[in-house]
Amino acid sequence: MVFGWFKRTMPRGLYGRAALILIVPIVTIQLVVSITFIQRHFERVTQQMTANIVLELNYVLRLIDGAASVEEARERLEPLADPLALRLVLPAPVLREDARRFYDLSGRQVIATLHQSLPNTRAVDLLDDQRLVQVQIDTDLGLLEVGLSRGRVSASNPHQLLVLMIVTGVLMTFIAYVFLRNQMRPIRQLAAAAEAFGKGRSVAYRPRGAIEVRAAGAAFLDMRARIERAIEQRTLMLSGVSHDLRTPLTRMKLGLSMLDPSEDVAALEQDVAEMEHLLDAFLAFSRGEALDDPESCDPAQILHRVVEKAQRAGQPVAIGLVEGQGRAMLRPMAVERALENLISNAVRYGCRAEVHLTVTDRAIRYTVEDDGPGIPPDQRSLALRPFTRLDEARNQNKGSGVGLGLSIALDVARGHGGTLRLGQSDRMGGLRAELVLAR
């Protein structure tokens, strides 16, 4: 329980934790040294100064004890008051008990030393006037009250030492902060570059800072270059295959058009059309994020454009709840294609579909729901794989695709630093597909 509270209160960022590692030892050392030194300084010096006063008080008590009456004792004490800088009252009103402020550390030592050195001490008052010490001592002729300056029994606060320690601590903390900021800046730049690349954006980055940070930055640049080359090679390969297959496919379509109509020719034309559809799907999947570059977009406008296109095509889709607003850096054509695939799947396997939009500070969430049969939970991860069709889970009466719709949507989501989640629609009973994009 204690560990959980401690972990929740600690800074979560590396900058805050590193600052804590540097600042806490400095502050702790300053406090420990200052408290230890001041406490010992106050205790020892105060004890010695109070012991000197005890010598004078013992002399005063001997004079009082040697007097036959109070008047005689007063006559003996009167010549000593000014030279010793003491205020002597005999007899004196009784004080209740020892009194001092709770933070008066030297006062505690003064009271302890007086009681220990003068057993007849009844009370020591340090509360009424911080600049004055009032001591009451029992004598044979009554209660004696001695008033003296506080500066004679305890050392004053070492203000110069405290000021010097505070100034030094602040200066060292500032130096540590500047040093820490310079060391953390390359790490934050690397994190920003990695985050941008995870969202599908490539920002300029040059390794800086310590050797370890430079090594991590260089490894990131190599990784980013390899991923970009792999994506480019995949795009070129699939585009080339799709392009090369279109030539013999066109010759087949031309040859079939010159034949006399028959059932066999119609079947072949259907096979050719299906092959052409497959090539189009392969080409769309291979293009990935190469359609456009990231730009500032309004997610709501993208939603309305996609739904309007679907409605013009006769698809039963409507816009549902729209929460939040704002702009974000997106690839609009890629996002539109992902939404079109989700809507196409929804209306293919269901009778109607609804699209919802939620915009937050950290993410954009498009939710497509339908009233179809849905996808069982144990097959949802399989449905996201490329070229996978769940024939038993979906309604095939309305046609089937090539198994790339959800894969393309997932690829677009990952290119924007997000994901695609499949679930059960509580409102419509069918599939719920959430396209989550990072802002």
CATH number at residue 307: 3.30.565.10
Q: Into how many domains does the chain fold?
A: 2
**Residue where a domain stops, chosen among 152, 184, 213:** 152
Q: 270: closest CA among 399, 390, 407, 404?
A: 399
- Out of 152, 174, 203, pick the residue that ends a domain: 152
Beta-carbon contacts of residue 221 (< 8 Å; ≥ 6 apart): 205, 207
* Residue 139 is assigned to a structural domain of this protein: yes
Supply the DSSP string of 332-349, one letter for each residue: HHHHHHHHHHHHHHHHHH
Strand pairing category for 431-438 and 363-370: antiparallel
Residue 395 has what pLDDT? 46
Predicted local confidence at residue 432, as pLDDT: 92
CA distance 283 to 271: 18
- Domain assignment present for residue 243? The answer is no
Which positions ≥6 away from 64 have C-beta within 8 Å?
A: 73, 76, 77, 90, 139, 140, 141, 144
Q: What is the pLDDT of residue 28?
A: 81
Say what the pLDDT of residue 2 is: 53
In a domain? residue 19? yes
CA 175 from centroid of its chain's CA atoms:
24
Residue 24, token pair as written in the block = 């806490």
Tell me, yes or no, whether 34 lies in a domain: yes
Query: Is 358 a member of any domain?
Result: yes
pLDDT of the residue at 236: 73
Picking from 129, 152, 175, the residue at the C-terminal end of a domain is: 152
Residue 49 near residue 155, CB atoms below 8 Å:
yes
34: domain CATH number is 3.30.450
Give all strands of the β-sheet with 353-359 in edge-to-edge order. Answer: 317-323, 353-359, 363-370, 431-438, 419-424
Which residues does the chain have with pLDDT short of 70? 1-7, 12-13, 15, 38-39, 96, 129, 156-162, 199-200, 238-239, 242-243, 281-292, 387-403
Is 18 inside any structural domain?
Answer: yes
On whether residue 324 sits in a domain, the answer given is yes
Task: Report the C-alpha gap between 384 and 390 in whole angstroms.
Answer: 10
- Domain of 28 in residue numbering reads as 2-152
pLDDT tens readout for residues 269-310: 887 877 777 777 666 666 655 556 778 889 999 999 999 988
pTM: 0.50
Looking at the domain assignment, is residue 203 inside a domain? Answer: no
Give residue 287's pLDDT. 60
